[in-house]
């Protein structure tokens, strides 16, 4: 793999202003952790994205697709090949009656604010979920009783054959923290949400209430990737961890939050290795005590 050749070709497709070389992934993850990506690109429209993917696949270049890195732990060796970041450069939206159409790189928090301003209800649950709309669709993100599947009308995707297709809610096969995006390795381009008109004061009250719940119960002031573990059936990961005596436990730069045990945080200078060792320690301790297996919700990628 000749990095210079790849860089030159990608410059032709999206311009050098949208390309970074040997870019530390700690600059692109909410954990503030991660070694360098060989090349990182930030496409601005679906045509650029289509051309990038066509080139990468034709040349068999390894690639990794990401949003704004809020659910991501990149190992200390970084990522080989090309990282395609669909985030702030890909965040346009429009509201037409009760249909909200948005590009996949928009932050859920930003979209929720605009939806609320226009007096549409039903999207309040997503206001505090960190991450982009595309990432939320991929994992059917949810919080406080709502999930993406409840509000999605259709999703425009780029499939593995390089075709752009629009899939209905039913075709998306939404499940608990999963969707067709993961199964078929689809790239989410644009999402249509269907919402009902509501009362602005009522919507604002819900948003304010959820903000208070999050800020008082979650360690939002320190680097993390949100909830570290999926919810095991019949249990809550945070409670299992706390009941195992692990609240506040620290391993080098990694720590179980003393505000919410379901969050592993970067307490200062943590490496990916520190985080992974603490995750394994938590899993073993919880299993030994309760015979319940915890599975990571955070996505771990890259080389050691």
- Catalytic residue ranges: 177, 227, 297
CA-based torsion, 274, 276, 279, 285: positive or negative: negative
3-state secondary structure of 251: strand
Q: Can you tell me the distance from the alpha carbon of 97 to that of 100, in angstroms, rounded to the nearest whole number? A: 8
CA angle 204, 205, 209 (to 5 degrees): 115
Contacts of 30 (CB under 8 A, 6+ apart): 68, 69, 70, 72, 130, 223, 224, 225, 226
Longest dimension (CA), the chain: 57
Tokens linked to 182 = 């993961």
Q: For residue 136, what is the DSSP state?
A: H
Q: For residue 3, what is the DSSP state?
A: H
- Give me the DSSP letters along 140-164: T-EETTEEGGGTEEEEEEE-TTS-E
Q: Can you tell me the distance from the alpha carbon of 274 to that of 278, in angstroms, rounded to the nearest whole number? A: 6
């Amino acid at each position: 793999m000749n990095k210079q050749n790849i860089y030159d070709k990608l410059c032709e497709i999206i311009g050098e202003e949208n390309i970074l070389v040997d870019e530390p992934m700690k600059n692109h993850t909410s954990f503030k952790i991660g070694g360098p990506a060989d090349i990182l690109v930030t496409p601005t429209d679906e045509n650029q994205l289509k051309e990038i993917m066509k080139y990468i696949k034709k040349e068999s270049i390894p690639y990794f697709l990401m949003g704004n890195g809020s659910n991501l732990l990149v190992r200390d060796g970084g990522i080989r090949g090309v990282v395609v970041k669909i985030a702030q450069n890909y965040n346009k939206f429009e509201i037409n009656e009760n249909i909200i159409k948005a590009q996949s790189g928009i932050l859920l928090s930003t979209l929720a604010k605009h939806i609320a301003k226009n007096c549409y209800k039903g999207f309040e649950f997503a206001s505090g979920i960190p991450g982009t709309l595309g990432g939320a669709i991929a994992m059917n993100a949810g919080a406080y009783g709502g999930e993406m599947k409840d509000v999605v009308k259709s999703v425009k995707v780029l499939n593995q054959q390089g075709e752009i297709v629009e899939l209905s809610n039913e075709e998306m096969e939404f499940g608990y923290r999963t969707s067709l995006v993961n199964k078929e390795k689809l790239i989410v381009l644009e999402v249509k949400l269907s919402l009902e008109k509501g009362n602005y004061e009522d919507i604002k009250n819900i948003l304010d209430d959820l903000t208070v719940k999050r800020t008082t119960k979650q360690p939002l002031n320190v680097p993390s990737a949100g909830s570290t573990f999926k919810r095991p059936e019949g249990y809550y990961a945070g409670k299992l961890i706390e009941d195992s005596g692990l609240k506040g436990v620290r391993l080098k730069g990694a720590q179980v939050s003393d505000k919410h045990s379901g969050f592993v945080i970067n307490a200062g200078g943590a490496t990916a290795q520190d985080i992974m060792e603490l995750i394994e320690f938590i899993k073993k301790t919880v299993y030994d005590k309760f015979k319940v297996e915890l599975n990571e919700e955070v996505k771990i990628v890259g080389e050691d």
